[in-house]
Amino acid sequence: MSTTHTPSGTLTAAQCTTLEALLADIEQHARDSARLADEHRAAISTADALNLARCIAAQQQSAAQLSALDARRAAFLRSLGLRTASTGSVTLSQLAAMAPKPRAALLTSTAARVRELLADAAQRRESVRLASLSLMAHMQGIVRQISRNLSET
């Protein structure tokens, strides 16, 4: 039987430092992810095969980095005794609010900024997905047209 624990109490200075480092790393990952999505979209729009390949490789690396960040987040939650079936039920913003007052405001602000950056990166990745679908539909149309032209000759 797994239960969800609600954060309570105050984080220690060391825990605040751990949370601060985690938030900083997630923030940097979100910024990098947004930049990569922009580069990927540009590569699609210019049909730059070499840059597309570079972007795809970078996305695979980014996914591995995100997995490592999530593992760090889950380990941090477990270290606080917040064991759940899905440790994602406790947000980093909730943890930031558990910091002592001087640090809570900064950590809460950072967590909010990280949330906004993650949403922006997700929106940019969705734009890349839609651009990819559009390009694929265009290419399928070209293939159909060539097939028709070849069958007529």
Q: Give alpha helix (H) positions in 1-153.
A: 13-46, 49-79, 92-97, 101-152
Q: Measure the CA–CA gap between 141 and 3, rounded to whole angstroms.
A: 52
Q: What is the pLDDT of residue 87?
A: 47
pLDDT at 1 over 60: no
For the chain, the helix, strand and coil percentages under 3-state DSSP, each to the nearest 5: 80, 0, 20
> Do residues 129 and 41 lie in contact, with contact meaning Cβ atoms separated by under 8 Å?
no
Distance, in Å, from the CA atom of 43 to the CA atom of 38, rounded to the nearest integer, reads 9
According to DSSP, residue 78 is labeled H
Q: For 3, how many CA atoms within 13 A lie in the half-sphere containing its CB? A: 4
Report phi then psi at 6, rounded to 5: -90, 135
pLDDT digits (tens, 9 = 90+) for 25-52: 999 999 999 999 999 999 998 889 999 9
pLDDT tens digits for range 55-102: 999 999 999 999 999 999 989 998 988 865 554 578 899 999 999 988
Residue 139 has pLDDT above 80, yes or no: yes
Q: Which of 116, 118, 94, 89 is closest to 104 using CA atoms?
A: 94
Amino acid occupying residue 41:
R
Asked if residue 72 lies in contact with residue 22, where contact means CB atoms within 8 angstroms, the answer is yes
d(CA 137, CA 131) in angstroms, rounded, equals: 10
